[in-house]
């Protein structure tokens, strides 16, 4: 178990180290948000034809775009994969509505109804 935790921490350090080396963080943040939105939109379009698999395929496309950008900015393969995985999961769960349901559940009033 300790070896797995060390590996996860190593991957996180690799991602954060790469992000620290990018010259223009604002540009990278805009690209990241664009890829997330692209994944959500393509997932919505894919869901019309293929259901939840189409949602996943669209989210993967957004993740692949950020993977390509990360490799152009000289990220390691492991760091680029971790960023791709994070964008794919975020795009899938936000687009599916699961992420929105989690956040809307936090806004319950004292009566139990949404405010």
What's residue 115's pLDDT?
Answer: 47
Give the orientation angle of helix 77-96 with respect to helix 52-72, to 10 degrees: 150
Tens digit of pLDDT for each residue in 28-66? 788 888 888 888 888 888 887 788 888 888 889 989 998
Res 99 pLDDT > 60: no
User: Which of residues 22 and 52 earns the better pLDDT score?
Assistant: 52
Question: Residue 17 pLDDT > 80, yes or no?
Answer: no
pLDDT at 114 over 70: no
Alpha-carbon distance of 110 to 108, in angstroms, equals: 7
The reported pLDDT for the residue numbered 10 is 84
State pLDDT tens for residues 67-92: 988 888 887 888 888 889 989 998 88
Instruction: Find tokens 């692949």 and name the residue.
Output: 64
Buried b (16+ CB within 10 A) or exposed e, 18-51: bbeebeeeeebeebbeebbebbbebbeebbeeee
């Amino acid at each position: 178990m300790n070896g797995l935790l060390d590996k996860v921490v190593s991957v996180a350090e690799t991602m954060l180290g790469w992000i620290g080396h990018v010259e223009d963080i604002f540009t990278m943040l805009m690209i990241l948000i664009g890829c997330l939105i692209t994944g959500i939109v393509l997932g919505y379009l894919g869901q019309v034809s293929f259901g939840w698999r189409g949602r996943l395929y669209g989210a993967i496309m957004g993740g692949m775009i950020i993977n390509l950008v990360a490799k152009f900015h000289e990220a390691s393969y492991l760091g680029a994969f971790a960023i791709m995985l994070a964008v794919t999961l975020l795009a899938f769960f936000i687009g599916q509505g699961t992420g929105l349901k989690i956040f809307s559940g936090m806004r319950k009033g004292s009566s139990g109804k949404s405010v």
